[in-house]
Every structure is written in C-alpha cells, then in structure tokens.
Amino acid sequence: MNFTYRKSDTMEKVIVIVGPTAVGKTKTSIEIAKKFHGEIINGDSTQVYRGLNIGTAKITEVEMEGIPHHLIDIKEPDESFSVAEFQKLVREKIHEINEAGKIPIIVGGTGLYIQAVLYDYEFSEASSNDALRNKLETFVKEHGNEALHERLKKIDMKSAEAIHPNNVRRVIRAIEVFEDSGVPFSEYLEKQKKEILYDCVMIGLTMERELLYDRINYRVEKMMEEGLLQEVTSLYHQGYRDCQALHAIGYRELYDYLEGKLTLEQAIHAIQQNTRRYAKRQFTWFRNKMDIAWFDMTEEDKTEEILEYIKGMIGEKANTL
C-alpha cells in the first residue's frame, strides 16, 4: 500500500507512531515530541487501566522526560473500554492539543482503535433496537459472557475474533447490527468510506522478525524481574476476575499460574509466545489496513531519519508551533 500524506491548512494535525510491541515506539515518540513541540496520546487499549503497569509496558514518569501524556490510567481494571469511547476521547484530545498550538502524537499498537480515530468511522449509524438489546442483556445475566460471544461467532466470526467476550456492550452491538440489517458488523465497518479526517503523518516502525522476537523474549524476562508477578498477584488479591483488562497478555497467563493451571515457567513461556504471535498480528494488520511510512529499526536507530521525514511532510509550519 502506498503512503499518502494529506496536507491541509484547515484540517487538524496529528502524527501517528505505530508498530508491533517491543519495536521501540516509546523512545522514538519522545524524540518526536521534543522536536515538534508535541504531546503524546496513548494508542494502546490496555494502558488506559490503572494498576496494569509492568505488563503493558506503560511509560514511566522518568521515561516521559517532561512530555505530557494523555489517556493513561483513566479506567479501573474492572471497567469496560470500547473502540467508540476511545475514538471520542482521542478526537477530543487531538482538538485540545491543536488548539493549544502543539502537535498531538498518537503512539500505540492497537490498530482498530487508532484507525477508528483517524478515519470517519461512525459507530452509531446502524439502527438501534432497544427490545433486542434488553433481551441480549437478560441472556448474558442468565448464561454468561461466553455464551453470548458464541452467538456472535455463529453470525460474524470476524467480529468475534476482534471483540473480547468480556466486552459485552460491543458484542451486543455487533449482534444487534446483524439482527436488524442482516449485515455482519465486520462487513458494516468495512463498507464505510474510511476517509481520513486529519492532516496526518503516519510512521510505522518495523524490525527483522528474529531480532524482534528476541527483544520480546528479553522484555518478558525483564518484566518478571521488575515485579510483574507481584503486580498481577496484587490485582488477583484485590478480587479482580474476568475483567476485560485482565485478559491482556501477561495477566491472563499469570492468573492461570496463580490458580494452579500452569507452572510459573509455563506461564512465562506462554507470555513470550503469545506476545510474539500478537506482534505478528499487529504488523500484518497495520500493513494491510493503513497508509504508513515504514522505517526498519533492525540495523540502527532511525530516529534522526524519521525526524527529517516528518519535518519534510509537515513543512516549515512545524517550526512555528
């Protein structure tokens, strides 16, 4: 897919940094923010949760180097968080940051969430059916989240793969759209125009697969040394169970360890394996779904090259912001 930059004097500006986990997005984003007078908006669906710090590789205050960060630690672990809510919050932040004369920089690896912000996805266009929604909510209370998710699988496997069983609101919405229109929710989203809404530069970081996998394995080991098990144990003893947040990689495996389903060694191995698989899915998704300028970080740090690229795309206006 060819990269296209949409330059406009009337559209709000935004820089986007995407790529698989462990590729170096955090460090690169800080340098970009310092260079272009930017503020960073979290683009990861798990870093919104308080208490999920080590396992989500959440940026620390020291690592921020004084750069403002937004939409981190805004939810409790047992609260739900949808792509529609993310879309609304991030668009508000983009507007606020632009109004302040700065450049918003979205950084993360949750592809659908970022795409929903940048393009004209409308999650409320499909009709709403209150009677059906009430019926499905009753079904959940009687049969559980998994049973509802199985119903979605039968009518829309793509949506079922993208929506976690504990995100009941979104599962219900996907079933509702299909029941009312006969069109799977995934197909409904694909048919939308997907016109970009911002004056946007999209940067993707990539890396040779074996090196990336080595970095992932090392990162997991480092997380364990930094206290990931203690972090998960604390959440477990606080009574958090079957939450959308705690199905994130690193948490669900250690919950299995705490419940005696895995040994600690097996849990660590599972975290590494699941993270590698997730990184592969992330890269494939971004390659296929968005127009991105890619920079390979395998041989050397490309930060200076990326900064020059952004400067060329944004133009001299960046120096006056």
Q: How far is residue 16's CA from residue 290's CA, in Å, rounded to a whole number? A: 11
Q: How far is residue 71's CA from residue 29's CA, in Å, rounded to a whole number? A: 15
User: Where is pLDDT greater, at 32 or 195?
Assistant: 32
Q: How confident is the model at residue 318 (pLDDT cuts 50, 70, 90)?
A: very low
Question: Are residues 202 and 222 located together in one domain of the fold?
Answer: yes
**Which pLDDT score, from 0 to 100, does residue 300 have?**
84
pLDDT at 315 over 80: no
pLDDT at 268 over 90: yes
3 assigned to some structural domain:
no
User: Where is pLDDT greater, at 184 or 10?
Assistant: 184
From 190, 214, 240, the end of a domain falls on 190
pLDDT at 55 over 80: yes
User: Where is pLDDT greater, at 265 or 7?
Assistant: 265
Question: Are residues 176 and 27 located together in one domain of the fold?
Answer: no
Question: Are residues 207 and 173 located together in one domain of the fold?
Answer: no
Q: Answer yes or no: are the C-beta atoms of 121 and 147 closer than 8 Å.
A: no
35 assigned to some structural domain:
yes
From 144, 166, 190, the end of a domain falls on 190
pLDDT at 84 over 70: yes
pLDDT at 194 over 50: yes
210 assigned to some structural domain:
yes
274-290 average pLDDT score: 89
**Total domains, the chain:** 2
Question: Are residues 242 and 314 located together in one domain of the fold?
Answer: yes
Q: Answer yes or no: are the C-beta atoms of 113 and 86 closer than 8 Å.
A: yes
Question: Are residues 154 and 54 located together in one domain of the fold?
Answer: no
204 assigned to some structural domain:
yes
pLDDT digits (tens, 9 = 90+) for 150-190: 999 999 988 888 787 877 878 898 898 888 778 888 887 77
pLDDT digits (tens, 9 = 90+) for 210-258: 999 999 999 999 999 999 999 999 999 999 988 889 989 999 999 999 9
- Three-state DSSP at 27 gives helix
Question: Are residues 166 and 302 located together in one domain of the fold?
Answer: no
Question: Are residues 214 and 313 located together in one domain of the fold?
Answer: yes
From 170, 190, 210, the end of a domain falls on 190
**Which pLDDT score, from 0 to 100, does residue 123 have?**
64
Least confident of 26-35, 45-54, 187-196: 187-196
Question: Are residues 266 and 171 located together in one domain of the fold?
Answer: no
CATH value at residue 160: 1.10.20.140
8 assigned to some structural domain:
no
Rg (CA), the chain: 20
CATH value at residue 32: 3.40.50.300
Question: Are residues 59 and 150 located together in one domain of the fold?
Answer: no
Most confident of 114-128, 137-151, 221-235: 221-235
Question: Are residues 200 and 116 located together in one domain of the fold?
Answer: yes
186-207 average pLDDT score: 85
1 assigned to some structural domain:
no
245 assigned to some structural domain:
yes
User: 55: which 2 tokens?
Assistant: 């396992």
Domain that holds residue 268: 13-122+192-320
Question: Are residues 112 and 244 located together in one domain of the fold?
Answer: yes
Q: How confident is the model at residue 122 (pLDDT cuts 50, 70, 90)?
A: confident
100 assigned to some structural domain:
yes
**Which pLDDT score, from 0 to 100, does residue 237 have?**
97
- What percent of the chain lies above the pLDDT cut of 90? 65
Question: Are residues 251 and 106 located together in one domain of the fold?
Answer: yes
